[in-house]
Amino acid sequence: MADRHIEVSLVKRGVHCTAKLLDERAPHTCAAVWDALPLSGEVYHAKYARNEIYALFPPFADREPPLENPTVTPIPGDLCYFSFAGTELGTKAYGYDTDVRPGTTVVDLALFYERNNLL
C-alpha cells in the first residue's frame, strides 16, 4: 500500500501540517480514521499530557479499532486515537458538555508537539 497522509489544520490560526498514517503499525485505526475523513471540530489544548491538542468526535468506525501501536510517551508529530466512555472524563474542561451521558463514547484524536509528553 502506498503511504497515506492527512492534513491537520487549525484554520483560525492559519496552521497546517501533514501527518503520515502508520498503516503498517495500526491498520485498523488508520482505516477507521481515513474512512471517516473529512473530520472537523473544536480543538482543545491538553492540560495533563503537556504538549497536545485534540478534537473530540462521536464514534465514526463501524467497530471500535483494537489497541494498536500503543504508547504512553507520544513524541512530536504523533497523531493518536483514543476513545472514552462518557463518564471517564466527563467535565467541560476537557471539551465534554452536558450531552455526554453514561453509555456514550467519544473519540479523541490528539496531535502531540514538543517533547516530554506523558499519558
Domains and CATH numbers, the chain: 5-112 (2.40.100.20)
The more confident residue out of 36 and 105 is 36
What pLDDT score was predicted for residue 93?
Answer: 61
Please, which residues have CB within 8 angstroms of residue 54's CB and are 6 or more apart in sequence?
43, 44, 46, 95, 108, 109, 110, 111
What pLDDT score was predicted for residue 105?
Answer: 85
Confidence of residue 46 (pLDDT cuts 50, 70, 90): confident
Summarised one tens digit per residue, pLDDT across range 68-119 is: 999 999 999 999 999 987 666 656 665 555 555 566 788 999 999 999 888 8
Query: Could you tell me which of 17, 98, 102, 91 has the C-alpha nearest to residue 53?
Result: 17
Confidence of residue 67 (pLDDT cuts 50, 70, 90): very high
DSSP structural state of residue 61: S
Please, which residues have CB within 8 angstroms of residue 49's CB and are 6 or more apart in sequence?
74, 110, 112, 117, 118, 119
Q: What is the 3-state secondary structure (H, E, C) of 100-119?
A: CCCCCEEEEEEEECCCCCCC
User: In degrees rounded to 5, what are phi and psi of residue 53?
Assistant: -120, 150
Residue 119, Cα to own-chain centre: how many angstroms? 13
Summarised one tens digit per residue, pLDDT across range 1-17 is: 799 999 999 999 999 99
- Average pLDDT of span 32-61: 92
